[in-house]
Chains A and B, each alone.
Chain A
Amino acid sequence: MARSRAIRDVPPLPAHAVLVRALFEVYPDGRDYDRDALVADVTYNFDEFGYFGLSLWLVGAVWTLDRLMAKKVARAYRVGLYSAGDLDSHDLRLVASGREPHYDATDGAVITGDSGSVRITAGSATELVDRFLDTPYTVEQNPHFVQNIR
């Protein structure tokens, strides 16, 4: 049975909102993403929370890009920056899941009930990942990167 997921009651993001996803290594052919790994990640989100989702961090007044890179993803040496508008134009919806400033990108329908409960239809792991991979982004180095070795 899926674990319950807290969904924050917040307004939809404006198109100019910026979201961050920390990147891993540079893959063969210079790719920033491993498609199979992303499919596994969104499938794991389904197994835990009942919907396909890919984690992002929202840049805002409290969680500035600098603070995000220092506090949330300091172990990553670079990040990808996405706009909410670009994600939306690729039919990806943004769900304010967990604690601020965490979001999930999902390709499922997000349905809010009369009681305020939120239901997210399943969607598809591969569709979600392919739409995400088609979404433009910019790469930025993380000035707060710490290797974290002994």
Chain B
Amino acid sequence: MIQIDIDADLNMVDDEDRNMARLPKDPSRLKVGGVAVAGRPGFWSWVRIDEITDISVFFRQISAREAAEAGDLSVAAPV
């Protein structure tokens, strides 16, 4: 079971085609440029965080390889 950092409807995108989600209750471990897991069971992805606002986090889906190459998976929980 994957642990998801950002609950997200991955169908939803902004005008820049970025995925977006409501900011988690504890966003302290999220940072712009960081890697996390977003989505829900059955439809989730590794993502790179692009922007954080007062209510939202914007991100782009990346491959598992890109996530591993980032080297900082402290936010994202292991599978």
Residue positions of A touching B, CB distance < 8 A: 3-6, 21-26, 37, 40-41, 44-45, 47-48, 55-57, 73, 75-78, 98-99, 102, 148-150
Contacts and interface: CB of A to CB of B under 8 A. Distances in A.
Nearest to B43: A76
Given A24-B40, A98-B17, 11 more contacts: A3-B14, A4-B15, A37-B9, A44-B22, A75-B43, A76-B43, A99-B17, A102-B13, A148-B64, A149-B79, A150-B78
Contacts of B12: 41, 44-45, 55
Nearest to A25: B42
Contacts of B15: 4-6, 98-99
B18 to A, nearest CB: 10
Interface of B: 2, 9-17, 20-22, 39-46, 55-56, 61, 63-64, 67-68, 78-79
